[in-house]
């Protein structure tokens, strides 16, 4: 081969090398593969969503539990268990015994077949005589406790066949000031009081309502509201009911002057 040809080949190879090293030359663009980042990002989100859904499924509302359970009429043992569970951890055995009520303290319980009037007629057949003999102010012969003002009005309407011409006093807080109720109790004679435990307790504590003349105390035990809660399923009503029982009613029941009924 001619030496000149060899030189030409070497120059050609040098030119190619220089072209490859030229800073102005653009390198070949390689297509980048998409990283599967989406998969790794989506997986924990799906787990979180499933965890939240699982938690929501486990959380049960009281209405869900009560809706599945068949309604059972309240019995004296239910009230006794309520008191024991509430005071069990904070009271001594002797103190718990003082809260015990014998069967003789209770009226026959509602078996869920009665209207309010028919139930009252059954437990108090001599109501007409009691009504006529009651002359004391600041007191009632019968006290009915329920969960709300609206329920109080319903019970008052439903006892028309029983109460006759006796006077009924509304003992709840909605739209009625406690001073108005205190004045009415002081000036007039009422035979039946229907209201909520909180307002009744407040009247008793202020000596506006005396329970010495009370013969019957009825708890609206079996009725349930729109959320299927009984009065003892509502924390505030439950606490006020227990407070009233402990401070005033239980002693009167143990002395034999008051009878308890679960409607």
Among 20-29, 43-52, 109-118, the range with the most confident prediction by mean pLDDT is 109-118
Task: Give the mean pLDDT of the chain.
Answer: 83
Which of 18-22, 227-231, 239-243 is predicted least confidently?
A: 18-22
- pLDDT greater than 90 at residue 99: no
- pLDDT greater than 50 at residue 20: no
pLDDT attached to residue 72:
85
C-alpha angle 228/78/192, rounded to 5°?
A: 75
pLDDT attached to residue 18:
47
What tens digit of pLDDT does each residue of 176-215 get?
999 999 999 999 999 999 999 999 999 999 999 999 999 9
Higher-confidence residue of 91 and 206: namely 206
- The domains located in the chain, with CATH, are 72-262 (3.40.50.300)
- The alpha carbon of 147 is separated from its chain's Cα centroid by a whole number of angstroms, namely 11
Distance CA 92, CA 89 (A): 8
Higher-confidence residue of 8 and 153: namely 153
**CB-neighbour burial class of residue 234 (10 A; exposed 0-12, middle 13-18, buried 19+):** middle
Which residues, 6+ apart, have CB-to-CB distance to 220 below 8 Å? 144, 145, 146, 147, 151, 155, 231, 263
pTM summary value: 0.73
Q: Which two tokens stand for residue 242?
A: 């227990």
């Amino acid at each position: 081969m001619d030496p000149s040809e060899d030189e030409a080949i070497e120059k050609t190879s040098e030119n190619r090398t220089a072209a490859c090293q030229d800073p102005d030359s653009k390198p070949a663009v390689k297509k980048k593969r998409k990283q599967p980042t989406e998969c790794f990002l989506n997986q924990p989100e799906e787990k979180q969503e499933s965890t939240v859904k699982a938690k929501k499924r486990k959380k049960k509302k009281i209405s869900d539990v009560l809706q599945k359970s068949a309604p059972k009429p309240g019995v004296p043992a239910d009230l006794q268990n309520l008191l024991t569970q509430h005071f069990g951890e904070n009271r001594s055995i002797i103190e718990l015994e003082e809260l015990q009520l014998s069967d003789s303290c209770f009226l026959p319980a509602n078996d869920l077949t009665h209207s309010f009037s028919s139930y009252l007629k059954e437990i108090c057949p001599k109501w007409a005589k009691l009504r006529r003999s009651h002359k004391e102010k600041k007191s009632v012969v019968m006290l009915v406790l329920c969960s709300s003002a609206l329920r109080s009005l319903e019970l008052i309407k439903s006892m028309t066949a029983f109460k006759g011409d006796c006077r009924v006093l509304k003992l709840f807080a909605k739209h009625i000031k406690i001073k108005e109720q205190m004045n009415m109790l002081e000036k007039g004679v009422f035979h039946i009081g229907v209201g909520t435990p909180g307002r009744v307790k407040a009247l008793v504590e202020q000596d506006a309502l005396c329970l010495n003349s009370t013969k019957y105390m009825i708890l609206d035990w079996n009725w349930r509201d729109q959320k299927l809660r009984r009065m003892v399923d509502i924390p505030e009503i439950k606490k006020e009911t227990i407070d009233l029982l402990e401070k005033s009613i239980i002693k009167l029941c143990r002395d034999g002057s008051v009878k308890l009924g679960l409607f």
